[in-house]
Structure 1
Amino acid sequence: MKQNILIKNAKIVNEGKIVEGDILIEGDYIKKIDTSISVKSADMNVIDVEGNYVLPGMIDDQVHFREPGLTHKANIETESKAALAGGITSFIEMPNTNPQTTTVDKLEEKFAIAAQSSYANYSFMFGGTNDNLEEILKVNPKTVAGLKLFLGSSTGNMLVDDPKVIEKIFSSTDMVISVHCEDEATIKDNFAKYKAEYGDDIPMDKHPLIRSEEACYLSSSKAIELARKTGARLHVFHLSTGKETKLFSNKIPLKDKKITAEVCIHHLWFSDEDYAKKGSHIKWNPAVKTSKDRDQLWKALLDDRIDVIATDHAPHTLEEKSNPYTSAPSGGPLVQHALVALLECYHQGKIKLEKIVEKACHNPAILFNVEKRGYIREGYYADLVIADLNSPWTVNKSNILYKCGWSPFEGNTFKSRITHTFVNGQLAYNNFKVLNVKAGQRLTFNR
């Protein structure tokens, strides 16, 4: 039987406000929120947070946990533990595993794995290809987060590059269609130019010139044009350029938007100036670009043209990352350090706590119609994070929880730390220790 929990003396960050109060958790749910709650019960676990901040658990709409098939890099168990340490209580995982999640049978196999091993709440994207429309139409939108299309290069046959197929998919489903937008022909031309000059050892700082602003803009603008034509519900993942931000609107509420956008932590934190020091450890697709791009992404995030903050957590081993440019894979681990990085940006005066919660908790819940999560509300699941904003710590090998064992933030000292994470009313993480509590549940959707 679950122990009921009373969180006392919290600063509750929720729905655009910070209020002082207490939170009573009974079973999976938040039972009561009030300025002061007193409960006389022998089985009540009272946690006095002494004025620290309580946030809804983050909902990360884009992760790659590498299971099945790529588990030498990561798996659902290890990465969901790291997510809890980073204040992420729910994740949506991508379809480019091995085998790829492009049939309903393979999708359900992943759900079965997560049911056994995930420490956080979970859902999965279904993958579109040039030839699986029949499978796409079998997917139940009430039980699956959405559809993912790679409109730029990806592993195996997941590149969707037939314009007729893309239009057919856009016209045939009411699900949220999340897209990776980079124009393949542009990238190939750029790559050929630098390969001719440097061979395999292309300098890492050429990555944003190969996977260029033009490649991103060309692809995302085409996807948006097609969404407008077909009426599709389009979500553009991981914007990396200032130019692309001009394609999005802040004129209507998120719940009414048909075309939405996401930005990832690494595009808000790093710039092309960091390649000299970080090398392949910040090699992502789309590429980290200029400080001007970063500034424009921040501006679009704060004025609501960009709706969601996510991680695109995509780990590879250090051995893989140590290869020359042409064989060093793109992607890096981020879930454990996402929220503390955002809190660092709060300390730097770049963003308010209320805005962090809006973009990383509320908005993913709205965008994907996640049921009873993403907010601190009575009757909602008790997915909660307690953060101490004045407790510095430094990222190093000994406290990294990713299976790959490294982080692009290594050596960085963060001012804030996550002290507690609750999943469905159970304390699952406490002060640098993931507890042996697999409380994660399959996400459900109000559709």
Structure 2
Amino acid sequence: MTTLLIRNARLVNEGQIRAGDLLIRDGRIDKIGSSICGAADEEIDADGDWLLPGMIDDQVHFREPGLTHKGSIASESAAAVAGGITSFMDMPNTRPPTLSLAALQEKKAIAAGSAHANYAFHFGAANDNLAAVAALDPCAVAGIKVFMGASTGNLLVDDPAVLERLFACAPTLLIAHCEDTPSITVNEEKWRKTHGDAVPLSAHPLIRDAEACYRSSSLAVALARQHRTRLHVLHLSTARELALFEDRPLAEKHITAEVCVHHLLFDDADYARLGSHLKCNPAVKTRADRDALRQALAGNRLDVIGTDHAPHTLAEKAAGYFQAPAGLPLAQDALPALMELVHDGCIDLPTLVAKTSHRVADLFRIAERGYLREGYWADLVLLGPRPPAAAPAPILSRCGWSPFAGRRWRSEVRSTIVSGQLAWHRGQLHAACRGQALAFLR
């Protein structure tokens, strides 16, 4: 059995920060103590850096199969571990979309051979695959994804009767992208009348506006209440939507909500600088919306933080408003970007760890991950102050760009450990690291 000992760390776990050491043996946390005696096969002197459970990202688009010119499970999981993400859950809008067990198994096989982080996959719901959804083994998927708004292919579920049946029959967690397509279509036509195809990118949050989000998310919440569905609403982007969710502990809720990195770090003033590089769905909205989402992190209305990492090539992003695809590559900046909220006093570090690790593991009922506990898998991140003169790390996402280009974070990921293996250390990817399939206790 191999051992790795991390000394002189500040362990951040379950609401507390305390100095200590942590010993990993054969992939799992073997011992946590104030001072662990003895030698190990490998040692890391944390020198006072924070040691926390790695981020579990509940929403990524790693583009494989079928869209690998944008990214692959290998390339995007490399970016993820550099950003402090030790586990990811990938979305179904690949080619082919993950609407069948065969497509699901193909993605799992690809990940088993190439993922640098631990992995799981969401199953897609469509207007014509409810029988496959209803027959799912709850432990075989992370969740069931429903696009209650515009999407690609046949992943959009816009038939009211199908939505009713889906909410009634979903055998496990239903996760929803909520935007109202008819509202968006009306707004698009208004802008086309005055600008033709040359609609400015600054119009994106006015086209995919707060009303479109609220109409869809309120419908999803109403259906979940009616059918007692276990519902998780993705990437809230507006202050108004927060009122739909209860400020109660996670264990007391069957309807939960996620917020994403970009809706916490950007606002509509950034479209002037970033243009299509900030185009995402749902749109980044006003400073007031951003600030309300930040404030809600301190309570329990927002349960987890994800990235919605969604790479596109620079050539694709260079197209006009209607042609440029929506989505941002965010994984490599995940924890350093979120640490800015800690440095600015928006939230404390134990709360950030709860929203990126503890609560994600609890919400999805992931076995033996998400905490610093003896016997649990060693999914860990060492975070420390970023040296002022440090050069930016090379972008590992295949698309080769970041909306955060030029931003200098105050923290950096020193090391990322995935299932006991070094995946990222001292600015270098350990390419031999392979993640494991996440197990669910359902």
TM-score by length of 2: 0.98
1:409 aligns with 2:404: yes
1:389 offset after TM fit, Å? Answer: 2.5
Q: What's the CA shift string for 1:100-155, capped at 9, x where partnerless?
A: 00011111111011111101000000000011011112321112101000000000
Give the letter aligned to residue 255 of structure 1: A
In 2: Cα distance, 1:97 partner to 1:105 partner: 13
Structure 2 residue matching 1:21: 3-state secondary structure: strand
Selected match of 2:365 from 365, 369, 372: 369
Aligned partner of 2:109: which letter?
A: A
Specify the SS of the correspondent of 2:137. Answer: coil
The 1-side partners of 2:158 and 2:38 are apart by: 60
Q: Tell whether the 8 Å contact from 1:238 to 1:261 is kept in structure 2 after alignment.
A: yes
What is the one-letter code of the residue matched to 2:360?
A: P
Instruction: Give me the whole-angstrom Cα distance separating, in 2, the residues matched to 1:394 and 1:319.
Output: 29
Aligned to 2:23: 24
Contact 1:61 1:91 (8 Å CA) reproduced:
yes
1:387-398 alignment to 2 at 5 Å?
387-392=383-388
One-letter identity of the residue aligned with 2:100: T
- Distance, in Å, in 2 between the alignment partners of 1:21 and 1:30 is 13
2:83 maps to 86
Cα distance 1:81–1:131, how it changes in 2: closer, same or farther (>3 A)? same
Q: Amino acid of the residue matched to residue 283 of structure 1?
A: K
CA distances 1:163-209 after superposition (whole Å, capped 9, x unpaired)? 11111111112311000000000000000111121112111110000
Q: Which residue of 1 aligns with 2:221?
A: 224
SS at structure 2 position matched to 1:261: strand
Which of 351, 354, 365 is the equivalent residue of 1:355?
A: 351
Is the 1:242–1:296 Cα contact (8 Å) retained in structure 2?
yes
Q: What's the CA shift for 1:392?
A: 3.9
CA shift at 1:394, angstroms? 6.8
Deviation for aligned residue 1:428: 1.3
User: Which residue of the other structure, out of 278, 281, 306, is the alignment partner of 1:282?
Assistant: 278
**CA displacement 1:24-48 (0-9 Å, x = unmatched):** 100010001011101245xx21211
The whole-number CA distance in structure 2 between the counterparts of 1:93 and 1:386 is 24
- The answer to whether the 8 Å contact 1:56/1:374 transfers is yes
Q: How large is the RMSD of aligned CA atoms in angstroms?
A: 1.2
Q: What's 2:13 paired with?
A: 14
Paired residues of 1:123 and 1:442 also in contact (CA < 8 A) = yes
Taking the aligned partners of 1:177 and 1:48, their CA distance within structure 2 comes to 42
Farther off after superposition, 431-440 or 115-124: 431-440
Q: Is the 8 A contact 1:280 1:328 kept in 2?
A: yes
Note closer, same or farther for the CA distance 1:209–1:393 as it changes in structure 2 (3 Å cut). farther
**Amino acid paired to 1:367:** L
Structure-to-structure mapping, 1:15-94, within 5 angstroms: 15-40=14-39, 44-94=41-91
The aligned runs of 1:23-422 (5 Å cut-off) are 23-40=22-39, 44-251=41-248, 253-392=249-388, 399-422=394-417
Partner amino acid, structure 2, of 1:358: A
Residues 422-431 or 76-85, more deviating: 422-431
1:331–1:394: structure 2 CA closer, same or farther, 3 Å change rule?
farther
Deviations 1:341-382 (A, max 9, x none): 011221111111101100001111010001111111001000
Q: Distance in 2 between matches of 1:347 and 1:437?
A: 34
CA contact (8 A) 1:302 1:351 kept: yes
Give the C-alpha shift of residue 410 in structure 1: 0.3
Secondary structure at 2:190's aligned position in 1? helix
- Secondary structure of the residue aligned to 2:122 is strand
**Kept after mapping to 1: 8 A contact 2:297/2:347:** no
Instruction: Return the letter of the residue paired with 2:13.
Output: N
Identity of aligned residues (%): 53
How far is 1:288 from its partner?
A: 0.3
* Partners of 1:209 and 1:25 in 2: CA distance: 50
In the alignment, which residue of structure 1 is the partner of 2:441? 446
Instruction: Work out whether residues 259 and 302 of structure 2, in 8 Å CA contact, stay in contact via their aligned partners in 1.
Output: yes
CA distance in 2, matches of 1:80, 1:210: 32
2:429 maps to 434
CA distance in 1, matches of 2:412, 2:77: 18
Change (3 A) 1:394 1:258: farther
Spell out, residue by residue over 1:63-112, the C-alpha distance to the aligned partner (whole angstroms, 9 max, x if none): 00000000000000000000000000000000000000001111111101
How many residue pairs get aligned? The number is 442
Q: Which amino acid aligns with 2:409?
A: F
**Are the aligned partners of 2:261 and 2:307 in contact in 1 as well (CA < 8 Å)?**
yes
8 A Cα contact 1:392 1:417, kept in partner = no
Distance 2:365 2:299 in 1: 22
CA distance, structure 1, for counterparts of residue 196 and residue 56 of structure 2: 41
Deviates more, 1:291-300 or 1:216-225: 291-300
Equivalent AA in structure 2 for residue 170 of structure 1 = F
Flag structure 2 segments of 5+ consecutive residues without an equivalent: none
Question: What is the one-letter code of the residue matched to 1:409?
Answer: F
Structure 1 residue 287 displacement after superposition: 0.2
Matched, 1:425 2:424: no
